Copies of this chain bind each other. A is one copy, B any other.
Amino acid sequence: MNKKIMEEHRKTILLTASKVFAEKGYYNTRISDIAEKLGVGHGTIYRYFKNKHHLFDQLLNFVVSGISEIIKSEDPCVAVTIDDYYKQMARIGWSLFHFFAENRELANVIFYFEAISISRQDKRTYKRIENFSHTLEEYNAQYLQNGIQKGFLRKDTPVQETALVINAMVFEAIRRIFTLKEKDWNKSAQAWSKTILDLVTRGIYKRVNADLQSS
């Protein structure tokens, strides 16, 4: 068969799999559930994927490489003005929102809930997820470090911890936005984005209080 058609089929299967996984969870999804949803025989899926775990693996690949691409395209140390710095922060968040907007199911399945549970079965997958988490954290940490060096951020910012909690906020927001059924994610994504950026940059205390607090 046409290589191109094969590739399309792979993608269709993968997409459907991610939907069913998102709906029922990995362990509660039968290969035949996916096949049924696709309207094909379950044997067909095995022509494209070695086994059930392989399906998950490919989805994981997709997320990992998608996000990797985003952070690769943004040098965490490039900003020289605080305005650039802020804009880059916003841009990266927005890219992530975009990525999951185009792959809504993945927000749910892969990212956070299923992945770690599944990876318990399989050392290799576990390592991959661990590495990926670490990469994300490290990336954010570099970004913060740069902010400190450039004098944008407070010197006493605990880099590692802050990197982690910021990531947590972003991914929680992603989960919220794309788990909801509403088609128009744009507006709510903007709200979330602003919330997180404001929280990160200014905190929620009124300034006068913040001054008192820090004095």
Contacts and interface: CB of A to CB of B under 8 A. Distances in A.
A86 B151 CA distance: 27
A202 B190 CA distance: 22
Interface of A: 23-28, 82, 86, 112-114, 116-118, 120-121, 144, 147, 151-154, 157-158, 161-162, 164-165, 167-169, 171-173, 176, 191-192, 194-196, 198-207, 209-214
Contacts of A206: 151-154
B23 A82 contact: no
Nearest to A23: B120
Copies in the complex: 4
B204 A144 contact: yes
Contacts of A176: 164
Contacts of A203: 198-203
Given A202-B210, A207-B214, A209-B82, A28 B120 contact: yes
B192 A161 contact: yes
